[in-house]
């Protein structure tokens, strides 16, 4: 069962960039380039903060 969870997590991790592109098609067409860039920058800052709050040292790999 653990191997299934690990495989599923790996699959979702690998598919994430493609899914993000699909989700961003609509906002990309609705917003102009400046607004879209601001939205992406804010999203990057928020996700970076969440990463650093929940993972004290994201460079350490626990096996």
Q: Tell me the Cα Rg of the chain.
A: 16
SS3 percent helix, strand, coil of the chain, rounded to 5, is 80, 0, 20
What would the pLDDT profile of 29-54 be if each residue is shown by its tens digit? 999 999 999 999 998 899 888 888 88
Q: What is the pTM of this model?
A: 0.58
- What does the angle CA 40 – CA 12 – CA 44 come to, to the nearest 5 degrees? 15
How many Cβ atoms are within 10 Å of 40's Cβ, its own excluded?
13
CA distance 60 to 45: 21
Q: What is the pLDDT of residue 62?
A: 62
Q: Could you state, in order of their start, the residue ranges of all structural domains in the chain? A: 24-50
């Amino acid at each position: 069962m653990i191997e299934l969870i690990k495989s599923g997590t790996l699959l979702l991790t690998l598919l994430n960039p493609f899914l993000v592109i699909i989700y961003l098609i609509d906002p990309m067409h609705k917003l102009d380039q400046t607004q879209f860039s601001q939205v992406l920058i804010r999203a990057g800052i928020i996700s970076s903060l969440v990463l650093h709050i929940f993972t004290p040292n994201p460079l350490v790999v626990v096996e």
